[in-house]
A and B are shown apart, each in its own frame.
Chain A
């Protein structure tokens, strides 16, 4: 994996992006500001799943109607995030916060997949409840927790406190 990252970091486009005066900051800004679109709307759905807000709306109304926007935001996050990794692969791969972020992303993905496979089929039975079933509330709460960890870990990638000095 490290070999692959070294190879990736030596490709001309990676070097160009890393050293660019404008492209890298712009990609970084897009990555951060798209949080509002993707995570902001995901938080609103999680709050509904928890039964704390938007309780007069059926769950499927929120999830389905916000989905195109959340998904667009997610696509932008993935593309801009991949580009940021591509620009600085070795240091990022070795960064502890990057690893925490990737592990938590996987957990957030599993949480979402479990929710969809277990709760979505019979959603019509409970989606009008002010307080959704326990499993749905767990899914919402875990999602909020995982994404908070992802944001914090993502921010801290920039602070490589335990970096191997030989990388400089």
Chain B
């Protein structure tokens, strides 16, 4: 058996995976945390990307908005990942064979890397030196990647 599949099977048969799968309440409750995290991360990502488009709170400097939104981005991402991992353990083997799961993980990896490298750099740089085109381009890429994560995640539920 492939090592990845082996690991997924191990997750699913772990005490945690079993407990979540067999409980009537746990999975839905964890899902609720996942959705609450989604609302906050969505807000943090959208308010920054709107600003990079020159929309929304456009009177604020991008760098300041980025710094203010950053804690919400980080904490909601943490909530999403922890709750996501818990959901994952309860049905890991099924997810291994689900294209949407891999699409979501791929988008998530790209979104995180892009946000904390390219987007961070552009947001913190002097706006006059970055130029409006780059800001917009970064916002478009960020929105596409995060949308990929959301759509992939929603699609996992349909199987």
Contact = CB atoms under 8 A, between A and B. Distances in A.
Interface stretch (B12-20, B55-63, B84-92, B106-114): B55-63
Given A33-B154, A65-B59, A40 B40 contact: yes
Contacts of A40: 39-47
Interface stretch (B3-11, B24-32, B125-133): B24-32
B43 A39 contact: yes
Given A35-B39, A36-B41, A43-B40, A152 B32 contact: yes
B57 A36 contact: no
Contacts of A47: 72
A54 interface: yes
Interface string A148-168: 100110011011010000000
Contact of A44 (B47, B58, B71, B155): B47
A39 B38 CA distance: 10
Interface string B132-159: 0000000000000001001100110010
Contacts of A66: 47, 56-57
What 7 pairs between A and B have smallest CB-CB spacing?
A36-B42, A40-B43, A40-B42, A39-B39, A29-B154, A152-B32, A43-B43
A57 B24 contact: no
Do most interface residues of chain A lie in helix, strand or loop, or is the interface mixed? helix
Interface string A45-84: 0010000011011000110011001000000000000000
A143 to B, nearest CB: 12
B50 interface: yes
A139 interface: no
B44 A35 contact: no
Contact of A62 (B57, B64, B69, B154): B57
Interface of B: 24, 28, 31-32, 35-36, 38-47, 50, 55-60, 64-65, 68-69, 71-72, 147, 150-151, 154-155, 158
Interface residues of A, number: 33
A156 B43 contact: no
A18 B134 CA distance: 44
B38 A35 contact: yes
Contacts of B59: 57, 61, 65
B46 A36 contact: yes
18 contacts: A29-B151, A29-B154, A29-B155, A33-B147, A33-B150, A36-B38, A39-B39, A40-B42, A42-B43, A43-B43, A56-B60, A57-B57, A61-B59, A62-B57, A65-B57, A65-B58, A69-B55, A152-B35
Interface string A9-22: 00000000000000
A57 B65 CA distance: 10
A157 to B, nearest CB: 10
A61 B51 CA distance: 13
A148 B35 CA distance: 9
